[in-house]
Amino acid sequence: MPARLGRYAVRRRIGAGAFATVWLAYDEQLDSPVAVKVLAENWSEDLAVRQRFLEEGRFLRKVESPHVVTVYDAGELDDGRPYLVMSYADQGTLADRLEIDGLSAAQTLEVVREIGAGLQTLHERGVLHRDLKPANVLFRARDGKVAAMVADLGLGKSMEVSSRLTVIAGTPSFVAPEQAQGEPLDPRADQYSLAALTYLMLAGRAAFSHASLSAAAAPGAPPPLSTAERPYPPELEEVVTRGLSADREDRWPDVATYVGALEAALAPVAGEVAEPWLPLDPHLTQLGAPPSIKVDDSPLAEPTPPRRSRWRWAVGVAGAAVVLVASGLGGYVVAQRADPDVTITDDQSSLSVTVPTAWHRAAATNGWRPSGADGDYAAISTGTSASWADPGSTGQGVFVGLLPGDELPSQLPQHPECSGVGQRVPDNGTFGPSATVVYTGCPGDGVTVERVVQVTDDQLLWVQVRSHDRGTANGVLDDVAVHGM
């Protein structure tokens, strides 16, 4: 992790994709957190990718809207890679909210209103977004309220260029058919993506689950929006279905018209939304309490043989394949864009752990004081909510912490809330002497893993992981790292 990016002090990595890494940093001059997006090193010599990266900053600088991510600054690192300094979305993404909580009809309408306002502003400045999806809708606290913002214009194009070049790009389940076919584009492409996003928020499922851009080129009609569990009036069904028309001539003429029609059809059903329309989640970037380290002296079951292989789940749906075809060239370039995991580092840069993005809603990185210790030690606590470590919680998360100790404890924390008996995994000696116990049948039908490792002569590393599946827990355990020891 770099200590600084330009004049900005780096705190931790927010995420990484195929073309760039985003860091949470601090503007010491203005006393404010910022997000710094840096072009990936392996693309720094590709002039086309570099130009697209810089164009994103130029597009965003054209717009002054509370519902579009703001670019404050731009620069170049010593190695020549460009970076963009942007507003930090401290309330997560729409993808986070949908995965954990979901949205009510009133909240959905407010998201559509605000994102629609952001898209309309882009269109008025002559810019198409072309990649609207849950991961590119960010939430930020403003004056005690949450504002939804359009982000990531990595695929953004000026309308003039989009009308002349054949460009195939986007996320299959949200991309307009004409965009998947490489036809010239206009604002109705973004209107289609907004309708697909609306359908997802209202129905709790995507209108389409295309595996490729070729499938998105001929989507057919979406399934009915209404179900027995989530009934909606026919007027609302008609608005969203028209927004998802395969033929752009049959859609709403622009985003503003679509939002107005949706509001007329949905507002009587949704009712008034309370303020704040989306509750502030203070745990997304605030401190989360570490799990209890109380030890039960009950005997453990006999150890089971170690697993011969470990499987790591990739988080989320595979990212969109991006294919750029320039007129007359007859060739193409393919790249993968995937929603990344998040790597978190403690404030002392002594520990790091990579976790699924949804596990980053309640993060603490400023250390802890173990029971009986004279001082503070490096630690990280992060999970899907601040209560993830509570015995009865179905949340997921991980605690990683150093503590004093010159030998492994004879017992590890017990978990009576789990129906399965703790199974001790034999020490493989890979990271030094260690003890690992796995509990199954935990709340949420998940697993809880306790691990202690002797990392130095007088320090132990303690890790607790709670996950809905063993594969994800193993992946997180594999990505715990100790630095400088």
Q: In whole angstroms, give the CA distance from residue 228 to residue 472.
A: 33
What one-character-per-residue DSSP string does 198-214 give?
HHHHHHSS-S---SSHH
Q: Which two tokens stand for residue 91?
A: 């309330």
Query: Is 37 one of the annotated binding-site residues?
Result: yes
Please list, in sequence order, all residues whose beta carbon lies within 8 angstroms of the beta carbon of residue 166, skipping any fewer than 6 positions away: 182, 183, 325, 326, 327
Residue count of the chain: 485
> What CA dihedral angle connects 290, 388, 133 and 173, to 10 degrees?
130
Cβ atoms of residues 385 and 124 within 8 Å = no
Residue 53, SS3 per DSSP: helix
| Cβ-defined contacts of 437-445 (< 8 Å, 24+) | 437/300, 437/412, 438/470, 439/415, 440/470, 442/415, 442/417, 442/418, 442/466, 443/391, 443/392, 443/393, 443/394, 443/417, 443/418, 444/394, 444/395, 444/396, 444/468
Q: How are strands ordered across the β-sheet holding 342-345?
A: 342-345, 351-355, 480-482
Q: Count other Cβ atoms within 10 Å, centred on residue 478.
A: 12
How far apart CA 260 and CA 210 sit, in angstroms, is 28
Which of the 8 DSSP states describes residue 458?
T
Q: Are 151 and 91 in contact (CB under 8 A)?
A: no
Q: Distance (Å, rounded) from C-alpha 148 to C-alpha 80? A: 33
Residue 459 β-bridge partners: 404, 456
Q: Which two tokens stand for residue 169?
A: 């790009």
> For 307, phi and psi rounded to 5 degrees?
-70, 140
**Can you tell me which residue has the tokens 């988080």?**
315
Annotated binding site for ATP: 37
Annotated binding site: 37
